[in-house]
Structure 1
Amino acid sequence: MTLYKQILAFVICLFAGLLIIAYAVQFQSTRDYLAEQQRISVINTANSVGLALTPYLETGDKIGAESVINAAFDGGFYQKIHLDLLASKETIEKVNKVEIEGVPRWFTELNFFKSETYDSVLTSGWLQLGKLEVTGHPGDAYFQFWRAMSNLFFAYIACFVVVSILVIAALRILLRPLDLIRRQAVEIEKHHFNKSIPLPKTLELKQVVQSINTLTVKLAKQFKEEAVAADSLRERAFRDAVSGLGNRAYFMGQINAWIAEHGTGGVMLIAVDALDEIYRIDGYSARDQMVKQVANILHAKLATFGGAAISRISATEYAVLLPGLTSEELLDIAHVLNEAIADLIVNPLEIDSAFSVIGIAVRNEDEDLSALLTKADSALRRARNERLGAVTIEHAEKADTFGRLAWKEIILEALEHDQFDFRIQPVTMITGEMSLPAELFTGIRYQGQHFSAAQFISAVELFKLGEKLDRYVLDHAVSVLQANPGMRMSVNLTISSISSLPFLSYLNEFFIKNSAISNRIAIEIPENAIIHHRESVKSLSEICRQYKVMWGIDQFGRHFQSLEYLTELTPVYVKVDQGYMSIISKDENAQSVLAAVCRTAHNAGAITVVTRVENEQQIDLINQLFVDGYQGIVQPAREI
């Protein structure tokens, strides 16, 4: 129970107790007063009637005596007046059997008042003339008592209600700074440092608020400094300082992760040997400017290809990884890049304006990194030997099976005829953090073969099929969770779904409809979605927070984006990009970067998970690098 409720309950109970005591005291005093009034009235009536009867009794005038009794009986509220005439042995009696009006029957049955009776003997000298008995009727006492107590009761109830409302309002105002302090403490616990608390007027609370605001500012500054330090370390390790692209180490990490996923597509090496000539003639400043322009061209032309990794691997060479593309598509892109790079040179004679050569290697199935890079180097050498602007390609031994248009048809057919298969892979926790759901992997069965998502996801994004696919996968996840009450799983969303307002509306309705399993399902989004669709990701995180659905970031740390977005979005967990694990055993810089990235995530309140863990040696290594859990080949996925 909150402090506000405790104080409110105490004050209201105390006030209610005081009202009850006051009512009880008033109840008893009023009752005693009315009872005494009834007794005195009966005595006075008996005495006055006795005096009035004596002259008539002395003369034996029964009729006169009876008229006196009638007058007394009619002039008051009595239950009975009884007169015994001792001389004649006769009696005169008046009895009132009238029910009490205006008083509930249950109230009179509580017997608050007894009928008061007074006897007196009427004499004349030493002679006894008669015996008079007067019994008061409690009806008037009940009527006055009921009216007084009911009025007092409703007055006390009204007073109680008014005072309670005033107490509630006063406590809300007085304790509002304390509630703000509580909320700020919760925000700090969640690593949110974006707000400060207004200073209250209460001295004690004012000092506490000042301290908390100071602490919040310091923590925000500390997190920002650590995020900047992690970004700086990451850039030094994996980013080329001149072009702003990834360096050789970054490229090796990305291509290793791609090969580990059995990805299809190819590698493109782009040589701009004229950069050396620019350096000799115009100096390093002109060369660096041209390096940046080439990098900008590569970014602009390849921005639409999901999963592409672009790097500068030497002074004059660039490397590009393009997953999921066929030989023809790679050749078309290469010619576009050559033409765009050639446009950087102003050539008024328009003679041989080519500026670069490109070698392409298309990956064979199960081809390792060494063989693939050897093919790419061979293709680049042949291109250099031909002419500027040349594009050469080392084809895969097996011809490309499907182009992106073919993939579109395959995906649509799989959605229509349920040709998907699903596997889940658990997350093993190293630390004592909360357990995370197993990850759901989606594949396609086609012509007796299994194709992983890495092989067709680029076609999904290109043709905007992500929304259809994600709805299908979410519906399947619900059916699996309903059939397995103890299971928890995470579902990866595509970028095209995240950026779609209709899909976000669908997701809102989905969580309402499946509220019974919302605590057993998690949503994962790629880091690339945060870079290009920040507002949509904010909306998605608010939906997840509203329905208490866990959500996380996949491919965390892949892009050279500041990690400060963590405090704004506050994911529950992050899954570090596979590229780190592919080179962590060979590169100490990669270990330092992974540790810094994970520490930054910890400071933002997120659980850290590394993926593509292949052996026990890597597990021992990540134990020292602020990692909370892992996934990988050591825990193979199983079909569901």
Structure 2
Amino acid sequence: MTLYRQLLVTMLLLFAMLFITAYSVQFSSTRSYLAQQQQTTVINTATALGLALTPYLETSDSLGAESVINAIFDGGFYRKIQLNLLAADQEIIREHLAPPQEVPAWFINLGLFEGGRHEAVLTSGWLQLGQLYVEGHPGQAYYELWQGMSKLATWFVICFLLVWGLLVLALRYLLKPLHDIEIQAREIELHHFGKTIPLPSTRELREVVFAINNMAGKLEVQFKEQADEAERLRHKAFLDETSGLGNRAYFVSQSQSWISEGSGGAAILIAVNMLEQLYQDEGFEARDQMVKAIAVNLRQLCRRFGDYALARISAHEYAMLVSESDLERLSLLGEEINRQIADLVIDPVNGQDISVVGVAVVQPGDDISQLLTRADNALNKARMSEAGAVVVECYQAQYQMGRLAWKQLVEEALAEDSFELSTQAVLDFSGQPYHEELYIGIRKDGIIYSAGNFLPVAEQFKLGERLDLHIVARALILLREQPELRLAVNLTQHSCHQAVFWNELSRLLERYPNVRSRLFLELPESAFAFGKSLLIAPLASLKVAWGIDHFGRHFDLLTHLGKLRPHYVKLDHGYTSQVLQPDYDDAFLAAVCRAAHNMGALTIATRVETDTQVERLKTLYIDAYQGFVSPPRQLD
């Protein structure tokens, strides 16, 4: 029970005890007063009636005596008046046995009043004339006691409720600092900082609140320093200082991650030939300014794709990974790259001397060396062609379909609900499952197309919202049918930035209130790279667990992790794929994991293939892993 409730209940019990005590005293005193008053009335009535009857008894006038008794009996509250005439051996009796009116029977059955009794012998000198018995009726006493105590109880109840309300308001006001401290403690437990509690007027609470605020501020600074340190290590390992883009190590790691996922796309190499001539003519400052300007333009071009990687891999070369695999669109992209770089030159003489582009489409079964070799061959052919022509190389056409054909494939799968579903478990290092990630595929003509093949087209034609809502609905049905299941569903980047999608998703989740706690949403890191603040409110309103997929592909997101407050992050494969290499430096990966823990997020390694990798990852502050060491299972 909370302190607020304990204080409230204690005060209310004390007030109730005070009420019961005061009520009991008042009840007892009122009852005694009414009983004494009734006894006094009976005695006075018997005395007065005896004096009135004596003259009639001396003359043996029984009719007169009866008239006097009737007058007295009818004018008061008496249960019984009895006169025994000794000389005539006669009795005169009047009785009223009716119960009191407007008084509950249970109250009368308590036997609070006897009614009062008095006997008197009527005499004339030494002669006894008769014997008089008077008994009062308790009805009036019951009525007066009931009415008085009912009103008193009503006022006590009203006062009790009023005091209750005032206590609630007073305690909420007085204990508000404690409530704020409780909330702040929970936020600190979840590694969420930034909120300062107002200092209360109470001296003792003021000191506590000041200490809590001070501690939270220091922890926030400490965790931010750790996040900054992780970013510094990352920049040192993967950032090209001049351009602000990734370096060769970053591009290689991203390429490995890209290929291992089976995602379609293309690798683009851009050789900017005029940078060397610019250095010779105007010096390194002019060259560095051009390097930065080219990086800005390339970054703007990349943002049109759902996912990408961009790096400067040598003094004169840039590299890109994009999710586009259409040959015609890639050729146009290459020409646009050449044109934008040429626009940066004040007085271009020969376009071939400015830049050339080589493109290689990612093929099934590729490894990093094969992909980069094909891209480099394409770049060499571009150098030999006139005007920096773009060469696109594509050796295998098994998955080469036109954009409209891919679009039709996705629309047919949505209309017919023909997606094939499978899951892969996320396990902690004790072997216990955390959740299962849901994978989708489309089978056509004996070929299963994974999500990596058709998602770029779904993003391009804005089918991501329909696709995401459809898969989430399927996942909710599976969760309802299998109570032990915990599913993570990936969302597309386009959906994440659509307010309509979040509204539809909220309505969908409201239809499954009993299973939404076992649903996890995974958002690509690229969705946060261009609009972090837009996603905080909708994610908080859904009240479901969520995580960030491919964490680490984009720079500078780690420092914003505390504001995003994900439940977990899935580390990009590029940072975990090389953990078994002898010269692998795990300082950055360990720093990223510590920073994520400090912000309240679990860390999950992806694409784990062997038990040896699992053992190595245990030492790097990683909480769980996922990969073909635990093979996928079909749900359909």
- Contact 1:327 1:400 (8 Å CA) reproduced: no
- Structure 2 residue 634 is the aligned partner of structure 1 residue 636: no
Report the secondary structure of 2:577's partner residue.
Answer: helix
User: Which residue of 2 is the match for residue 470 of structure 1?
Assistant: 468
Q: 1:533 aligns with which of 526, 531, 549?
A: 531
User: Which residue of 1 is the match for residue 407 of structure 2?
Assistant: 408
- Structure 2 residue 248 is the aligned partner of structure 1 residue 253: no
User: Which residue of 1 is the match for residue 419 of structure 2?
Assistant: 420
- Contact 1:601 1:608 (8 Å CA) reproduced: yes
- Contact 2:497 2:534 (8 Å CA) reproduced: yes
Say how many residue pairs are matched. Answer: 635
- Contact 1:263 1:324 (8 Å CA) reproduced: no
Q: Given the superposition, is the C-alpha separation of residues 212 and 57 from structure 1 closer, same or farther in structure 2, using an over 3 Å criterion?
A: same
User: Which residue of 2 is the match for residue 109 of structure 1?
Assistant: 109
Q: How does 1:22-41 map to 2 (within 5 A)?
A: 22-41=22-41
More off after superposition, 515-524 vs 55-64: 55-64
Q: Percent identity?
A: 47
Report the secondary structure of 1:192's partner residue.
Answer: coil
Q: Distance in 1 between matches of 2:516 and 2:388?
A: 56
**What whole-Å deviation, never above 9, does each CA across 1:60-84 have from its counterpart, x for those lacking one?**
2223322332332233211111111
Report the secondary structure of 2:222's partner residue.
Answer: helix
Q: How does 1:187-226 map to 2 (within 5 A)?
A: 187-226=187-226
User: Which residue of 2 is the match for residue 383 of structure 1?
Assistant: 382
Report the secondary structure of 2:553's partner residue.
Answer: coil
Report the secondary structure of 1:436's partner residue.
Answer: strand
Q: CA deviation at 1:98?
A: 4.6
User: Which residue of 2 is the match for residue 325 of structure 1?
Assistant: 325
- Structure 2 residue 370 is the aligned partner of structure 1 residue 371: yes
Where structure 1 has 5 or more consecutive residues not aligned to the other structure, the ranges are: none
Q: Given the superposition, is the C-alpha separation of residues 273 and 233 from structure 1 closer, same or farther in structure 2, using an over 3 Å criterion?
A: same
Q: Given the superposition, is the C-alpha separation of residues 494 and 431 from structure 1 closer, same or farther in structure 2, using an over 3 Å criterion?
A: same
Q: Distance in 2 between matches of 1:313 and 1:265?
A: 19
Q: Distance in 1 between matches of 2:265 and 2:304?
A: 15
- Structure 2 residue 479 is the aligned partner of structure 1 residue 481: yes
User: Which residue of 2 is the match for residue 303 of structure 1?
Assistant: 303
- Structure 2 residue 153 is the aligned partner of structure 1 residue 158: no
Report the secondary structure of 2:504's partner residue.
Answer: helix
**What whole-Å deviation, never above 9, does each CA across 1:580-637 have from its counterpart, x for those lacking one?**
1233333856522211111111000011101011112221221111100000110111
User: Which residue of 1 is the match for residue 563 of structure 2?
Assistant: 568
Q: Given the superposition, is the C-alpha separation of residues 393 and 6 from structure 1 closer, same or farther in structure 2, using an over 3 Å criterion?
A: same
**What whole-Å deviation, never above 9, does each CA across 1:36-59 have from its counterpart, x for those lacking one?**
221221122112222222232222
Q: How does 1:435-474 map to 2 (within 5 A)?
A: 436-474=434-472
Q: How does 1:255-274 map to 2 (within 5 A)?
A: 255-274=255-274
Q: Distance in 2 between matches of 1:97 and 1:492?
A: 87
Q: CA deviation at 1:150?
A: 0.9
Q: Distance in 2 between matches of 1:135 and 1:112?
A: 16
Q: Distance in 1 between matches of 2:473 and 2:582?
A: 42
User: Which residue of 1 is the match for residue 549 of structure 2?
Assistant: 554
Q: Distance in 1 between matches of 2:446 and 2:509?
A: 35
More off after superposition, 623-632 vs 53-62: 53-62
What is the TM-score of this pair, normalised by structure 1?
0.95
Q: How does 1:326-365 map to 2 (within 5 A)?
A: 326-347=326-347, 352=351, 354-365=353-364
User: Which residue of 2 is the match for residue 68 of structure 1?
Assistant: 68
Where structure 2 has 5 or more consecutive residues not aligned to the other structure, the ranges are: none
Equivalent residue letter for 2:308: A
- Structure 2 residue 599 is the aligned partner of structure 1 residue 604: yes
- Contact 2:425 2:433 (8 Å CA) reproduced: no
Q: CA deviation at 1:155?
A: 1.4
Q: CA deviation at 1:376?
A: 2.1
- Contact 1:429 1:629 (8 Å CA) reproduced: yes
- Contact 2:35 2:115 (8 Å CA) reproduced: no
User: Which residue of 2 is the match for residue 624 of structure 1?
Assistant: 619
Q: CA deviation at 1:338?
A: 1.2
RMSD, matched Cα: 1.9
- Contact 1:342 1:354 (8 Å CA) reproduced: no
Q: Distance in 1 between matches of 2:396 and 2:75?
A: 127
Report the secondary structure of 1:87's partner residue.
Answer: coil
Equivalent residue letter for 2:133: E
Q: Given the superposition, is the C-alpha separation of residues 94 and 462 from structure 1 closer, same or farther in structure 2, using an over 3 Å criterion?
A: same
- Contact 1:359 1:392 (8 Å CA) reproduced: yes
Q: Distance in 2 between matches of 1:407 and 1:210?
A: 61
Q: Given the superposition, is the C-alpha separation of residues 489 and 114 from structure 1 closer, same or farther in structure 2, using an over 3 Å criterion?
A: same
Q: CA deviation at 1:515?
A: 0.4
More off after superposition, 620-629 vs 577-586: 577-586
User: Which residue of 1 is the match for residue 77 of structure 2?
Assistant: 77
Report the secondary structure of 2:111's partner residue.
Answer: coil
Q: 1:594 aligns with which of 589, 592, 598?
A: 589
- Contact 1:583 1:590 (8 Å CA) reproduced: no
Q: Given the superposition, is the C-alpha separation of residues 587 and 290 from structure 1 closer, same or farther in structure 2, using an over 3 Å criterion?
A: farther
Q: CA deviation at 1:573?
A: 0.8
- Contact 1:544 1:551 (8 Å CA) reproduced: no
- Contact 1:324 1:455 (8 Å CA) reproduced: no
Equivalent residue letter for 1:90: Q
**What whole-Å deviation, never above 9, does each CA across 1:173-223 have from its counterpart, x for those lacking one?**
111111111111111112121111111111100000000010111111112
What is the TM-score of this pair, normalised by structure 2?
0.96
